[in-house]
Amino acid sequence: MSKDILKLQPESLWKNFYSLTQIPRPSKKEAKVIEFMKKFGEDLGLETLVDEVGNVIIKKPATEGMENRKGIVLQGHLDMVPQKNSDSNHDFEKDAIDAYVDGDWVTAKGTTLGADNGMGVAAAMALLEAKDIEHGSIEALFTIDEETGMTGAEGLKAGLLDGDILLNMDSEDEGELYIGCAGGVNTNASLDYTEEEVPEAVVAYKVTVKGLKGGHSGLDINLGRGNANKILNALLFTSADKFGLRMANFEGGNLRNAIPRESFATVVVPTDSQEDFEKFVAAFTKIVQDEFKKDDPGVEVTAETAELPTKVVAQAAQASLFKAVADCPNGATAMSKELKDIVETSTNLAIVKAGNGKMEMASLQRSLTEEGKDKLAADVRASHEAAGFQAESSGDYPGWKPNPSSSILKEMKEIYNTKYGKVPEVKVIHAGLECGLLGSVYTNWDMISFGPTIRWPHSPDEKVNIATVQKFWDFLLLTLKNAPEK
């Protein structure tokens, strides 16, 4: 960990972000950070509560002379995406993030940084402890489990918060204001299978796809990046036909909202096909590298000899998996007709696993329309079922319908233009912000999402731009100072 982070400006925000990097907080494992935030609020002498699902709410009264302003809810999520490179020994449930300054950016060594959404949480913390910042009444809402199900936002009850304006600080491009987002739904599929004895006269290989950028399955889904599960499956599917390849296991991806960067399989091929198989893998690698030379140039495909497995997947089940993965839709499937250069509907085949008698697949469908989301989920289920899998969709969450007439939008556009000499871009994002769920409970809220510039969230390349953190902070303070009157 580089203590140089503590020298960055604004000091109070970076100090709190540093504190967050020291606390393990992967999604669904937020107990330590919940307790940390509860103590943080109580130590400040502020009204602090933890609701029944684990969301933390801290309330701070208006500063003198600002009592007539509308109350503002500052919102961010406590959990972070736990992604790491294959050569990293980091334990997200025990270890601090090894963050450091790298030129104009802050990033982490071999893991996700947690700027998504540590930046928003740290900004709210800095405001809660500040004694020299003008603001009306503020309530900080720190939700849990945003990244894997939005169960914190989904479980928030009415009547806990009093504000009229929600500032969601979970966007990733400074100078942009978001007024809408996609909804999403998870689709999972499974198939039980029998194992068979390993054929005679075979050689085993560990086949690996790695070096891909991965990234956010909403923000980065249209950037032409490779899906490791799709790439590995294409190699295995073809090799089963050409060489009689048999698979022992398949392990690809681990988070539904991250484009899979790495996939692995243990396979066997007949000894007399060994040379031809290795030549095929080399040729396949060149094809893949040529396909992704612009958008994902680091991709590698390797086949290294390995110990023979004890069992292999039954041949019919193996064929079912290869068909299911090959036929499953993946990537951006429709662009918005109303919004320029915005993905309307997409799907990410995030996880593929086969081992110990069970095959599983998990994907996430997103859309700006309910119809698009439901239809794509149905198409994904149908592709799985056609291959013999059982499939179901769950965890449906709504999108956030844009309100171009928003009063806080008008105010923030004017503030930004006065401060920086340009009008911020107003956008709808193809990602799942919590605003849709939160706004369905607190229907009076006028909502905006904004934040500093973060690149490659949900991947070990995640980084936050230092200069934009200062701009984000200054903009936030001006927004609070100029909040509308009641």
Instruction: Find the catalytic residue in 139, 145, 146, 462.
Output: 146
What single-letter amino acid sits at 151?
Answer: T
CA dihedral 364, 370, 374, 380 (to 10 degrees): -40
DSSP state of 401: -
79 included as an active-site residue: yes
Query: Residue 117: CA atoms inside 13 Å, Cβ hemisphere, count?
Result: 29
146 included as an active-site residue: yes
Instruction: Report which of 456, 429, 432 is spatially closest to residue 365, judged by C-alpha positions.
Output: 432
Q: What's the CA angle centered on 447, arms 442 and 451, to 5 degrees?
A: 130
Contact status, residue 97 vs residue 113, Cβ threshold 8 Å? yes
Contact status, residue 210 vs residue 227, Cβ threshold 8 Å? no
The residue whose two tokens read 């334990």 is 91
Instruction: Find the catalytic residue in 79, 145, 174, 462.
Output: 79
Contact status, residue 410 vs residue 222, Cβ threshold 8 Å? no
Contact status, residue 243 vs residue 277, Cβ threshold 8 Å? yes
Burial 280-307 (b: 16+ CB within 10 A, else e): bbeebbeebbeebeeebeebebebeeee
C-alpha 468/C-alpha 161 separation (Å) is 30
Active site (catalytic) residues: 79, 146
